[in-house]
Amino acid sequence: MKHKIKKAFADVFGESEDLRIFFAPGRVNLIGEHTDYNGGHVFPCALTIGTYAAVRERGDRLVRMYSDNFKEAGIKECSLDEIRYQKEDGWANYPKGVMAEYLGSGFSLPHGFDIVFLGNIPNGAGLSSSASIELVTAVILKECHGLDADMIDLVKLAQAAENSFIGVSCGIMDQFAIGMGKKDHAILLNCGTLAFEYTKLGMSGLSIVIANTNKKRTLADSSYNTRLKECREALFDLQKHLSIQSLGELSPSAFDAHAELIQNEVNRRRAKHAVYENHRTQKAAAMFSSNQLHHIGELMRDSHLSLRDDYEVTSLELDTLAEAAWRHAGVVGSRMTGAGFGGCTVSIVKDEAVSDFIETAGAHYEEQTGRKADFYTADIGAGARELKGDDNGD
């Protein structure tokens, strides 16, 4: 990939002696969905697929950007003195948003860049291609300008860019997993406090298989922000009697005891998902860390069903793939991953059953939906960084 992106850079901006190469992964969340903006736990990991960037520093304030994934969009330009969201800039709004956020937070960005991006995360698959391009940009800006910021600062800047520049009120999970990822580890993150711990994935004899429904969605046009609003309303009702700052502070039994305080039935179901999912996530992380995965299937299934019935963010495509996985004897657990409304499922599959699972679930999926699914065996990699020496990003 390093070679490929250097060539892409030369084709677009000409040969350059002093190119720097950066990488930010995508992420898959094992469990803990729609809990991050509710102050709960998530359990994601960074992948070895992601977004590469080749960068040449400029002497002026111009930024010229090109994405090999959106060749038809051509070169996008802006000045660091005037960064505005422009719908017609499409993908380039993500890096622009990060630049605007740095400037808005008081960092000085003395000079611009020529950047070529090249990603191998399928777009709209729910594996966080947008947070990946945000984080790779955040690392470029920090490293090339020698800024005094740590990775958690970068994670927060990237999330803020998505919230205010792109207009999606996402939580911190994606940016955190992509910034802080560690090879062969998942991250148990308390999104209320940002306390986190790495869990070595002792997966002996098991693989993580991602199945892409190929039904695309973007968070901007999904009902993501509506879900956030519904949870806020539920919290507001509960706060009339309970002194809590987030739904993540409630245990399932405390929730059950006070659920009637939530006026609206839909909001009540949304909140129930957030509370129970948070509980499931902590249980699942403990199972992964002790390599005791006997009950993981039940937790993953309950997670999916709750996202289907109470949170209502699955789809025919996601349900079909998850159900096909549940029926397969070689599958330990399966659920949708990411925001939902399309995107991917994640399954824990016995190594020897992976190819049969892919074949049978793929055929069933096509028969039921008329679409073809893509399957990937996930490799868990490290977080966003400059690629130096023989680090190729994978």
* Catalytic annotation, residues: 174
- Closest contact distance (angstroms) between CB of 167 and ligand GLA is 13
- Closest contact distance (angstroms) between CB of 52 and ligand GLA is 21
What's the alpha-carbon Rg for the chain, to the nearest Å? 21
Give 195 or 363: the residue with its C-beta nearer to ligand GLA.
195
Tokens of 35: 């809990």
Give 140 or 173: the residue with its C-beta nearer to ligand GLA.
173
230 binds ligand GLA (CB under 6 A): no
248 binds ligand GLA (CB under 6 A): no
24 binds ligand GLA (CB under 6 A): no
- Which residue, 312, 225, 210, is CA-closest to 268? 312
Helix (H, G, I), strand (E, B) or coil at 54: strand
- Which residue, 72, 157, 67, is CA-closest to 121? 67
- 34 is known to lie in a ligand binding site: yes
Query: Distance between CA 128 and CA 323 in Å, rounded?
Result: 24
- Closest contact distance (angstroms) between CB of 34 and ligand GLA is 5
Tokens of 37: 């903006």
- 128 is known to lie in a ligand binding site: yes
CA–CA–CA angle 16, 20, 24 (5° rounding): 140
- Which residue, 277, 261, 348, 335, is CA-closest to 301? 335
339 binds ligand GLA (CB under 6 A): yes
- Closest contact distance (angstroms) between CB of 209 and ligand GLA is 19
- Closest contact distance (angstroms) between CB of 293 and ligand GLA is 21
Give 20 or 227: the residue with its C-beta nearer to ligand GLA.
227
The DSSP string of 57-69 is: E-SSSEEEEEEGG
26 binds ligand GLA (CB under 6 A): no
- 36 is known to lie in a ligand binding site: yes
343 Cβ partners below 8 Å, 6+ apart?
A: 124, 125, 126, 127, 212, 213, 215, 217, 318, 336, 337
Give 115 or 188: the residue with its C-beta nearer to ligand GLA.
188
Among 22, 23, 28, 33, binds ligand GLA (CB under 6 A): 33
171 binds ligand GLA (CB under 6 A): yes
DSSP, res 159: H
Among 338, 342, 383, 393, binds ligand GLA (CB under 6 A): 338
Among 37, 276, 288, 375, binds ligand GLA (CB under 6 A): 37
Helix (H, G, I), strand (E, B) or coil at 150: coil
97 Cβ partners below 8 Å, 6+ apart?
A: 85, 134, 161, 162, 164, 165, 166
Q: Which stretch binds ligand GLA (CB under 6 A): 28-36, 98-106, 254-262, 345-353?
A: 28-36
95 binds ligand GLA (CB under 6 A): no
Give 80 or 191: the residue with its C-beta nearer to ligand GLA.
191
Give 5 or 132: the residue with its C-beta nearer to ligand GLA.
132
- Closest contact distance (angstroms) between CB of 217 and ligand GLA is 11
E strand map for the chain: 20-29, 41-42, 44-57, 62-67, 76-79, 113-119, 185-190, 196-200, 206-212, 331-337, 344-350, 374-377, 385-386
277 binds ligand GLA (CB under 6 A): no
173 binds ligand GLA (CB under 6 A): yes
| Residue ranges that bind ligand GLA, judged by CB under 6 A | 33-34, 36-37, 170-171, 173-174, 338-339
Which residues contribute to the annotated binding site for Mg(2+)? Answer: 130, 162
Query: Residues forming the annotated binding site for ATP?
Result: 67, 124-130
